[in-house]
């Protein structure tokens, strides 16, 4: 399969996932960072996003306060 064929077959979300997979695989294989470093930063980002979402008022709460 060519790159162009893969682009046509994949959804927008899958193209994004494939790009992240390819970039991270290259960076790990070239020794730019280790799998452990990647996993640590991944967990860090998810935790930060979870805290952000937990502290943000829900849409329902926003509507209640707006009226």
Per-residue pLDDT of the chain (67 residues; tens, 9 = 90+): 999 999 999 999 999 999 999 999 999 999 999 999 999 999 999 999 999 999 987 766 666 666 5
Print the domain residue range for 11: 1-32
Distance CA 53, CA 29 (A): 34
CA distance 41 to 19: 18
> Which residue reads 């290259």 in tokens?
26
Domain count, the chain: 2
CB 28 within 8 A of CB 34: yes
Instruction: Kindly report the pTM of this predicted structure.
Output: 0.64
Residues 24 and 40 in one domain: no
pLDDT at 50: 96
Q: State residue 25's pLDDT score.
A: 95
Please tell me whether residues 28 and 40 are part of one structural domain.
no
Whether 47 and 60 map to the same domain: the answer is: yes
Position 57 scores a pLDDT of: 76
């Amino acid at each position: 399969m060519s790159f162009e064929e893969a682009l046509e077959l994949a959804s927008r979300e899958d193209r994004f996932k494939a790009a992240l997979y390819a970039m991270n695989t290259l960076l790990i294989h070239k020794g730019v960072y280790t799998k452990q470093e990647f996993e640590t930063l991944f967990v860090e980002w998810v935790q930060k996003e979870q805290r952000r979402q937990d502290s943000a008022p829900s849409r329902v709460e926003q509507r209640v306060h707006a009226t």
